[in-house]
Structure 1
């Protein structure tokens, strides 16, 4: 059984919730359409955003087309409550002869890397390193792994950069709004030791994410006293974390998938592999060329919950791409729509018109966090941040008649002309 990482879906059948389609551009020479946060915490919410894979889905079929050559290795599976896909433009014999490894070992190593990260950072596993830190009531330094220290340190840097729009302490709010780990009958958060039986929920296509009750004002006020990335400190040597408030609860859902992408990419490069595309739940990092000799091309999806259509295609080489949006992970109650993107400053789901954010960066971890932060900030403040910092960003904004988009100048160089 694959590990769960913040998933609210059953394991029997996986659904794809691709925010980004991966494909060889030759399949769609003329794209017809356009291309997650969380206020975070949310892998894209509360656990790493939810749901996984069905290989017959159009997106994966498109991803596979054109890559059936023996020059492409393709590894897929489930991790962190979603799917992963690793493509290597290299023949199995070449990989074996040049680097002294076999294809089966490559697949096993990728699985081990992902499982190690899951065991460190999942809020759905009560025995994970992060869950043990969250459960600790000590005000002293809590020894952690180098990887967990790296992710929390980067999260705090992005928190400072974005004025708190990215805040990994929003876990209590995520849980109150029903986007965190499910609760058992006694009101305790369930770990991954629970049976996987039950209804299958596909993110957003049905309003399956519904809290038993709307959060009470008193509970929100209480949770807000524990929110604030400034309440967390890191120490590099030896690596450790510390919290100022014993009730601080960290949720790395909006950054850990990106970190996992980087770790797999770094492993491939250590193996001498320079042509690859790593995708975990829509967070990607590509380098080199695909099997046709062209740069990896990624389609940004139109932010429509009931359709799969392409908005724009971009080319990536030695870059990561993260897309964040609220159009599939939400619930409705009394005729009102509640996004999974929680604003740490208000403790409530965002209400602005920003539907989707795509960020390009050398680091998938940073791109993941920035996409979440900009989704919290909204179309104006988010754009201003990206432009000021020179971040390649494409925003898709809801209007009365449909959608409009806006990209920073740094993004334009990645767009593939139709």
Structure 2
């Protein structure tokens, strides 16, 4: 299946610790695990419920929902709703489906709150720098080409009224890769809850949402150490009934003349970020919103990101590369998720 953008996912490790010696008479909910491919990555769902659940029908419902999201929001499907808007060569209002309207409205809200750092019109810049559907490049774009594209990038180039989306310039194109995967996680969680399942973990390419608990303990999630070519844990947390998203750039970049170009584009400069934050993790009730905030905080410089997170009570963990290794910056809202010794 084609993906939204060619971004290697930030993976999480779900830590399952089982308590042995339980009473044989105790009836434990049955564990179920589902998995598959979507959005250029994989999804996995783990939950606990009674044997009467029709697992096949439940997974079919989930995969139909994921297909719908791809058909609406993928930039890799030429006939998707999003691509039909992008290909529109006029400033006539475009009618959106309710899922697309919801996602775009939240992207605009977060974009305005961050001063344009989250900008869903940044798609042409992503393509220009070789991180979009057109494929990789090996050298930075010419200054003239960059200036031309920046002329039609910006949240002020689109407007949303009810379900009507309008572009001011026919060249405007939207990319929802900073938020659509999180929306997919939320939708799978809603399907589980509608089926009466309240103890679950949903993961799409590293964006997660957990609810309830395992039969013996809370869900535990390990945040990956941001080192290319290895799978190691930075820390383990118990997120509770929350979503978790991480943005990182240590696996998706290109180098030219000794300069490293990240896949994350700062709309303020039109160029890839160049600071030393290597990953940003956000906890939020909504995976869609956590997805957007994690990207925004990663694009910001570390101190700017921490100030923003504290201002808006966002639970965030930033990992910054130093000459000695890695250091962590933790927002005030993230403090409850640390161990008692670290608070």
Is the CA contact (8 Å cut-off) linking 2:18 and 2:216 kept in structure 1?
A: no
Please say if residues 36 and 42 of structure 2, whose CA atoms lie closer than 8 Å, have aligned partners that are also in contact.
yes
**In structure 2, distance between residues paired with 1:25 and 1:128:** 42
C-alpha displacement at 1:247, in angstroms?
1.0
For the pair 1:253 / 2:177, whether they are aligned, the reply is yes
What's 1:49 paired with? none
State the 1:363 CA deviation.
0.4
The normalised TM-score by structure 2 is: 0.93
- Hey, what does 1:155 align to over in structure 2? 107
Evaluate the alpha carbon distance shift between residue 376 and residue 26 of structure 1 in structure 2; reply closer, same or farther with a 3 A threshold: farther
Q: 1:7-406, aligned counterparts within 5 Å?
A: 8=6, 17-25=9-17, 71-93=30-52, 95=53, 102-182=54-134, 210-236=136-162, 239-290=163-214, 292-406=215-329
Instruction: Note if contact 1:313-1:416 (Cα within 8 Å) is conserved in structure 2.
Output: no
- Once the two structures are TM-superposed, the CA of residue 378 in structure 1 deviates from its matched residue by 1.7
Q: Distance in 2 between matches of 1:387 and 1:23?
A: 29
CA deviation profile, 1:235-291 (whole Å, cap 9, x unmatched): 22xx2211111111100001000001111111111111111111001000110012x
Q: Any idea what SS the aligned residue of 1:253 has? A: coil
The offset of 1:376, in angstroms, is 0.8
Report the 3-state secondary structure (helix = DSSP H, G, I; strand = E; otherwise coil) of the residue aligned with 2:282: strand
CA distance in 1, matches of 2:340, 2:253: 33
Query: Does the CA contact (< 8 Å) of 2:89 and 2:171 recur in 1?
Result: yes
Counterparts of 1:342 and 1:25 in 2: how far apart (Å)?
39
Distance 2:129 2:4 in 1: 14
Q: CA deviation at 1:410?
A: 1.2
Q: Which has the higher contact order (CA 8 A, sep 6+)?
A: 1
> Closer, same or farther in 2 for the Cα pair 1:414/1:139, shift >3 Å?
same
416 and 287 in structure 1: CA distance in 2 versus 1, 3 angstrom threshold? farther
The answer to whether the 8 Å contact 1:174/1:180 transfers is: yes
Distance in 2, Cα, partners of 1:20 & 1:118: 23
Whole-Å separation in 2 of the counterparts to 1:232 and 1:7? 21
Is the 1:330–1:338 Cα contact (8 Å) retained in structure 2?
yes
Distance 1:251 1:145 in 2: 16
Counterpart contact for 1:134–1:248, Cα < 8 Å:
yes
Q: Work out whether 1:5 is the aligned partner of 2:3.
A: yes
Secondary structure in 1 matching 2:184: helix
Alpha-carbon offset, residue 130 of structure 1: 0.1
Bigger proportion of residues as strand: 2
Counterparts of 1:131 and 1:399 in 2: how far apart (Å)?
Answer: 41
Distance of 1:8 and 1:325 partners within structure 2: 13
Aligned equivalents of 1:8, 1:322: Cα separation in 2: 17
For structure 2, the residue ranges without an aligned partner over 5 or more in a row are: 20-27
TM-score, normalised to structure 1, is: 0.77
Unaligned runs of 5+ in 1: 10-15, 28-68, 96-101, 184-209
**In structure 1, C-alpha distance between the alignment counterparts of 2:252 and 2:313, rounded to whole Å:** 29
Q: Root-mean-square deviation (CA), in Å? A: 1.8
* CA offset digits 1:204-226 (Å, max 9, x no partner): xxxxxx40543111110011011
